[in-house]
Amino acid sequence: MTDWLAPLLIGALTQSPRPAAAAEPKETSMSDQPPTQTPTQQLAAALTAASTAVAKLMQTLQLSLGALREEGFTALMVGTVQDQDPDVLVPSFPNEPKTGADLIWIDKASGGKKLFLIQAKRLNPLTLQYDELDHTVGSTGKLQVDLLLETTAGIDEEAQDEGGFAKAYYFFYNFNPLSSADNGIFWLPADVVKTLVSQGKTSLAALKKSSFYQPLSAFANEVGLG
């Protein structure tokens, strides 16, 4: 197991689940009970709540978005998902300059064998560009997206030996003052981002033209909980 990854997995997967609050028993009829959701639908609802929370905060901060970088929005997203649907996607926060990832989400049911490496970018509401989509890492001159994909490929090779996988994504935190439909969190596979960056495409409009560009709720299908 990769030296830096093993401690993250051990810490994340041994976290004790939060105890559920005791509920007062009450009589219910069949008509009172909500329809049963699949795990994927439950996660999609949690991801929708997280996207809404980020959109509201970005709108509140629209005149001073520089006061909060991607890390703050990532923390809000992760916290909201954990609150809505705990112990499904377990978060770990790797060394970004070393891995290219802001966040690793681990499918707890897989025992750490299914991992989602995520790099986050924030939309500039004035230019509607992702200013750092073509970011290079330190003095290496290596594109961040290349580093993320290389890291993921190394982990994926190990994970596949145990029946799992590792995949890389970009999450986009949006506030568009011209269109509320763009607000919230959207995502793309990292290899699609690599192609766009190689073509010099870093705008919201360019990313939206990709058929892979989707709202955060659709990420539940990528996790594949059933």
52-to-105, 172, 217 alpha-carbon distances in Å: 19, 13, 10
Q: pLDDT-based confidence at 11, cuts 50/70/90?
A: low
Most confidently predicted of 2-6, 122-126, 170-174: 170-174
**What pLDDT sits at residue 112?**
87
Q: pLDDT-based confidence at 138, cuts 50/70/90?
A: confident
CA 187, 193, 198 angle in degrees (round to 5)? 160
HEC-encoded secondary structure of 21-74: CCCCCCCCCCCCCCCCCCHHHHHHHHHHHHHHHHHHHHHHCCCCHHHCCHHHHH
40 touches 71 (CB < 8 A) = no
Q: What is the pTM of this model?
A: 0.86
- The encoded tokens of residue 198 equal 């190689």
Does residue 87 sit in helix, strand or coil?
coil
The full set of domain ranges for the chain reads 38-223
144 touches 193 (CB < 8 A) = no
CA 206, 168, 186 angle in degrees (round to 5)? 45
Query: Given a cut of 50, is residue 20 above it in pLDDT?
Result: no
Q: pLDDT-based confidence at 18, cuts 50/70/90?
A: very low
Of 4, 9, 219, which Cα lies nearest the Cα of 113? 9
**What pLDDT sits at residue 10?**
55
**What pLDDT sits at residue 7?**
62
Of 58, 83, 64, 42, which Cα lies nearest the Cα of 184? 58
